[in-house]
Structure 1
Amino acid sequence: MGIGGAMDIVKLPEQQSPALGAEPTRRALDDFRSSSIWPAAFGSALILVCAALKFLSVLDLSPGPYCAGAALIIRSLLTLLTAHRMRRALETHPWTRRLAEVRDDRVILLRDPESDTVLHLKHPRINPTCPTENGPLWWAGTPEHGGVVSAPGGTALTWVRPLGGRRARYRWVLLLGLVVGGLGIAGSEAADHDPMVELKVIDHTTKPGPCRVGFKDPLTHEHRTASFICEGHRDALIPDLEYGWVVSYGPWKGDLYNADWEGSTGNDVNDGLISAGVLLAAAGGIGGTVSYRERRHFPAAGTSPGPPRTPAARPAPRSSRWPAPAAPCAASHEP
């Protein structure tokens, strides 16, 4: 179904007034911003509970719950960023009527009935207010920077962006992922060279868990005491002997950890940097590939599809540039 349909009968606000001046639009924007509160609260609570369980040595969870909580917080931050973009567009531009064609690949084509130009826009993948049917929509924004579309009435707001307009952004995401992952790999490589030391348990505990140990620091050659996660159940002949490793790099230099990598946050940071780098690099690579395909299959936003290009005519062969040879001279008549 192409772009078309009758114009909506809902009355638009005054053409010179910003779209945010309408009361239904302000309420819709406030509701959209409020939708970011609960995911952020739940994600923060999940991270705090996991950290408390690990600190109290009750349960040492995998990075999965931490990543889930961080994902919820990031989602809320992105929602707030989108709400800020919506407010900026709605404060600047008035509502205008456009005829819309909604495609299955999240592409929306908006046609201006007056100038007959078509905007090629894309909406978010998950948004309950996204338009799903062809017909009239309200639009506030610019073809270059995107804007807000809504069903007639301005009560269901959706941020849309120009098609293929995130090329440079995905490059930066990919570069950031490579840098972050590289830092995590460098930290893991440095951890392989951490020196092992003999530790003497000075609080005489024999149970697994936190204990107090004394040792000679192989990095500074000084005698120190520090907290350590003891394995417990030591040999009866040497009841106060433990073995550990000293961190030799970064801001965690001098920290102790055991054979299970417990005791220093440096190892957790390295694992987190590697995981975050892989996710960022994957997002940048996949997003950049999708954006590249969009730029190849769709024209620039704000313009109607132009006529197909006709191939230029090839120059004539070189031999045809020379004049044809003259006809042979007629034979001379006999006297």
Structure 2
Amino acid sequence: MRYKEFGKTSLKVSEVALGTWGIGGAGWDDNQEETRLDAIRSAVECGINLIDTAPAYNSGVAERYIGSVLKDMGVREKMIITTKCGTEFIDGAYVRNCAPEAILRQCEESLRNLQTDYIDLYLIHWPDASVPIAETMETLNQLKRQGKIRHIGVSNFGREQIEEAGRYGSIEVYQPQYSMVFRSNEEQMKWACGQGMGVMTYGSLGAGILTGAFRQLTAFAASDNRSRFYKHFQEPMFSKVMKVVEVMDRLSAERNNVPLSQIALNWCAQKSFVGSCIVGAQSRRKVEENCAGFEWMLTEKEVAALDAAIEQYLEGDA
């Protein structure tokens, strides 16, 4: 496993983080509970020290799985846990609420779910225009003073929103969507890194499309997150992405058929402004396969070939 300094947090994080939206279960593949728990165990065993979750991931289910596994393994102190506030999953819908009383309640619930007395990285999941950011940040500052959270961050914020939040407290972590098929946040990521924030990407494999697992247009159920959150599973972008996947296939063949996921993760992780790439693997096999990708690196020539394909086929879309 490779590790990087994470902004100014003084933390050293694995270049791949385990994402648990899928492990939570709602809106993703329906795996057995033991399979999901074992995915978390395997991440720890493979050297991943950063786990990303949120109370919105099936109403706390993902957090409870993490808490159970880390307690059983006795490794809580070695792990860096990221969870979030301000968004809840209620009756099958995602509801934003960054009001102080809601955040205080959510933090206590997350601490119980995770079976811990502190959260390493605590992020505002999505902006909530109905609540002044000053009130939200003061609540987070209060939790930090109490020792319940260690570092404050944001996910899905624009630069102006980050700067506004930063007027009321230190923003140390930025978590945007970013991958070969979604690069619209890249300039903001470079800026955030330059400001000393640790940057961790989500959707790093494009919800699986960059693994080569989807070679034909797939009709997902309406409840499946791939049918609503990721536009590259729909035309006309799907066919364009497949052209990029063909280039990945060629590079894979030249490297003795390494999995495409390893190519996509290295493309992301090798960016100087990326601290860690979140990957939502839901089984031991996939976790181990992803982690094996950090035993090697793409060459400059390979990165250039991928960048050229992205520019040729996805310019204006990604």
Q: Answer with 1 or 2: which has the greater Rg.
A: 1
Shorter-normalised TM-score: what interval?
under 0.3
Bigger share in helix: 2
TM-score normalized by the length of structure 1: 0.20
